[in-house]
């Protein structure tokens, strides 16, 4: 672990959403909103999203890929931030939506998505998931296994056909955390090429399914575009199809020591492989999740306790209830005090939950930390909201959109009654 106590203000601000700035008194502002004002109005912890940054990233993705391959669709991987308001922005900006299960189908529909522009994923789809997909006319079901085929044969009404893709394991060993790797031979997702060929034949002979193409995915938080591009060749070898879904997985910058490829680098690598290996005129799909939303948000906490000893523990009012990435994948984050940005002495920022692993950031420099201070942790737009939980009776956190100096609530905080609402006795 490298402790960056000499990071400049500009370097720190670069981890926050584009457009983040300091007020005249040095307080962080996102979307033109002071974070201390947001905390006062909506409480802490709270996930604060720059709406303009989110919209611009969606536009940048479309421009990068359609500028290189005109018949390309960008499908936002909803699981990374399955908030209806976020899905609605993606729909507004012309993106398709990748949904994982019935719940994400329903939130996507509430967000105004065209069901024909939904792509349903899942390695263990239930009858209910597939019934919802068929009922609402989901555009593509990604067949992950032979059981998906059996279920669709049973569920799709006579006289109808469900468009499908077959998910293929590309055999790429991704340089990422084990929990984020999906393209290796032992992955629980998809079918090895020989099995994929059998699935393709079954779908092609079915009266209730229509094979549109193939799908693949290497993993998440990949910082090497060549590994992402390696997945194109295995699906190209399976034949000529109308659709080739290349998945997502581009990594983002969480810390000063990470240097992810640019969006242009990623698009260049993927489209270069597509031009070399895929038929002209084919439709390609990319499915960004983390790289679409991570940098659009930060989480604001309030300091509740400070213990000084061998290690200075700065405890805040959130933790693994709103950010499981640290304990799940070992991902490092950075942090700063909202009104004293950058510099200071190294401390360990820990959460309020009864787990030693409930640590948000270890060895992060903070300036003159005191009870009641607000701490902002950047790059929390991906996989934080979606994995938020009620551990130790914590109330799940709100999501606030900030734009042009106006902060608005798009997801409320749990109430105490919400903790009891599912009890039947």
- Just list the catalytic residues: 354
DSSP annotation string for 263-278:
HHHHHHHHHHHHHHHS
Residue 405 burial (CB < 10 Å; 0-12/13-18/19+)? exposed
Closest to 105 measured CA to CA, from 91, 119, 86: 119
Q: 190 near 167, Cβ under 8 Å?
A: yes
| Closest alpha carbon to 274 in 245, 308, 306 | 245
Distance CA 150, CA 137 (A): 19
> What backbone phi and psi angles, to 5 degrees, belong to 216?
-150, 165
CA 371 – CA 369 distance, rounded (Å): 7
Q: Are the beta carbons of 274 and 69 closer than 8 angstroms?
A: yes
- Contact call for residues 301 and 44 (beta carbons, < 8 A): yes
Select from 48, 37, 45 the least CA-distant residue to 397.
Answer: 45
Contact (Cβ atoms closer than 8 angstroms) between residue 37 and residue 338 = no
53 close to 17: Cβ distance less than 8 angstroms: yes
């Amino acid at each position: 672990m490298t402790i960056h106590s000499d990071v400049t203000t500009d370097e720190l601000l670069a981890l926050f959403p584009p457009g983040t700035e300091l007020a005249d008194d040095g307080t962080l502002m996102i979307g033109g909103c002071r974070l201390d004002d947001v905390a006062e109005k909506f409480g802490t912890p709270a996930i604060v999203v720059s709406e303009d940054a989110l919209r611009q990233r969606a536009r940048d993705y479309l421009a990068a890929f359609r500028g290189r391959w005109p018949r390309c669709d960008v499908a936002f991987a909803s699981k990374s931030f399955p908030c209806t308001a976020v899905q609605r922005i993606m729909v507004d900006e012309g993106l398709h939506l990748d949904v994982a299960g019935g719940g994400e189908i329903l939130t996507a529909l509430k967000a105004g998505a065209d069901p024909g522009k939904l792509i349903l994923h899942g390695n263990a789809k239930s009858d209910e998931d597939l019934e919802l997909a068929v009922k609402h006319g989901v555009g593509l079901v990604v067949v992950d296994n032979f059981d998906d085929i059996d279920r669709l044969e049973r569920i799709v009404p006579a006289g109808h056909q469900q468009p499908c893709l077959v998910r293929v394991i590309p055999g790429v060993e991704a340089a990422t955390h084990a929990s984020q790797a999906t393209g290796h031979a032992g992955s629980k997702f998809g079918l090895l090429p020989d099995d994929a060929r059998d699935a393709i034949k079954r779908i092609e002979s079915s009266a209730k399914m229509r094979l549109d193409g193939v799908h693949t995915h290497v993993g998440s938080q990949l910082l090497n575009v060549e590994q992402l591009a390696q997945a194109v060749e295995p699906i190209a070898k399976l034949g000529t199809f109308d659709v080739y879904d290349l998945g997502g997985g581009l990594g983002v910058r969480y810390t000063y020591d990470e240097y992810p490829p640019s969006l242009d680098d990623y698009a260049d690598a993927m489209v270069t492989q597509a031009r070399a290996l895929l038929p002209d005129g084919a439709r390609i799909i990319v499915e960004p999740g983390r790289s679409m939303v991570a940098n659009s948000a930060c989480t604001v906490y309030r300091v509740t306790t400070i213990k000084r000893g061998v290690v200075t523990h700065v405890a805040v009012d959130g933790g693994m209830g709103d950010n499981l990435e640290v304990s799940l994948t070992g991902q490092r984050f950075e942090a700063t005090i909202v009104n004293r940005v950058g510099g200071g002495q190294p401390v360990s920022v820990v959460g309020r939950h009864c787990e030693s692993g409930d640590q948000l950031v270890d060895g992060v420099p903070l300036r003159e930390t005191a009870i009641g201070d607000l701490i902002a942790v950047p790059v929390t737009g991906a996989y934080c909201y979606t994995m938020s939980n009620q551990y130790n009776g914590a109330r799940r956190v709100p999501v606030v959109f900030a734009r042009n100096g106006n902060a608005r609530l798009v997801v409320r905080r749990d109430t105490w009654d919400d903790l009891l609402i599912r009890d039947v006795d």
